[in-house]
Structure 1
Amino acid sequence: MLPNTPETRLAGLGIALPTSAPSPIGSFRNVRRSGGMIYVSGQGPVRADGTLMRGKVGRDVTAEEARDHAELVAINILTALRDCFGSLDRVGGVVKLLGMVNADPDFERHPFVVDGASDLLARIFGESGIHARSAFGVGSLPNQITVEIEAIFEAADQR
């Protein structure tokens, strides 16, 4: 029997991460470790081919579509972590997410949208994937993407 690790859970779900994370669009890096904490800069819903998921949630994009976009963001977060550390098994768990939804002013389902990322991370990291979180709507996001999520993780060697 295979060990129950983030990498084996990811494989068991049939999820293949892109070969590399999207490049930052500014003067920052995707991942920075400080002591036992790992900070992942805001990631967006970018497909492996570079396609951006764009639009205003509640007007151009449904909450269900945006939830799928948030799951794609989680995949990009995982890819950035693997790029930095070589394996998700070096990550001990998820501490906190900050989810921003490019939403119509009347849209109210921000937590539902960001659950797309939260649920996937919980499946990958198990109990240590259950995290603290904030989710809210914003008037716009870079390149008019639908969702941006930043994350804080704990390193496995700190547990």
Structure 2
Amino acid sequence: MSSHDQIAALHFELPPVPAPIGTFRNVLQVGNILYVSGQGPLDRNGVLYKGKVGRDVSVEAAYEHARLTGLNILSVLSAHLGDLARVKQFVKLQGFVNATDDFADHPRVINGCSDLLVEVFGGRGIHARTSIGVASLPNNITVEIEAIVEIFSEGKSHG
């Protein structure tokens, strides 16, 4: 089953590629490595999920926001590559949680994105990861996640 078929089987749809909110690219390719800039929980209707996890937003809701952020990462990758089958493996995620000072469940939140990647890509979705809490994020979003991805050379892919 292709990655796009797997996304559909999970009852997800890739959102439109979000526009960068500053002077940067959504993705930069260096050889066979892609660096995906931090993405946030923006849904296909343009709703951006905001708030402080541990005060305004529950761990369960923030987990879903991280899943949505993962879909935005996949949208960026799909637009850049044309075919998600070119993803060889996810190398690393760095996840930021807009959290209260005493919040300690950052890994549970960022698992939303990690779990999605494994559901879509199987073993190719397993990655190294950092998940940290921060005092604030742009536009007061709940989570921001960036990714490093290795791809197959042009013309090669994983079916």
- TM-score, structure 1 normalization: 0.93
Tell me how far apart the structure 2 counterparts of residues 102 and 14 of structure 1 sit (CA, whole Å). Answer: 27
Identity %: 52
Give how far 1:43 is off: 0.1
Alignment pair present for 1:5 and 2:2: yes
- 1:55-87 Cα shifts (integer Å, max 9, x gaps): 000000001100000000000000011111112
Match 2:82 to one of 80, 83, 86: 86
The residue aligned with 1:155 is 151
- 1:110-147 Cα shifts (integer Å, max 9, x gaps): 00000000000011111011000000100000000000
RMSD of Structure 2 on Structure 1 (CA): 1.3
- Partner of 2:43: helix, strand, or coil? coil
- Partner of 2:88: helix, strand, or coil? strand
- TM-score, structure 2 normalization: 0.93
The residue aligned with 1:129 is 125
Tell me how far apart the structure 1 counterparts of residues 70 and 76 of structure 2 sit (CA, whole Å). Answer: 10
Tell me how far apart the structure 2 counterparts of residues 34 and 114 of structure 1 sit (CA, whole Å). Answer: 26
Amino acid at match of 2:127: H
- 1:10-44 Cα shifts (integer Å, max 9, x gaps): 222222112x2110000001111101101100000
The residue aligned with 1:33 is 29
Unaligned runs of 5+ in 2: none
The residue aligned with 1:15 is 12
The residue aligned with 1:116 is 112
The residue aligned with 1:140 is 136
The residue aligned with 1:96 is 92
Alignment pair present for 1:60 and 2:56: yes
Name the count of aligned residue pairs.
Answer: 155
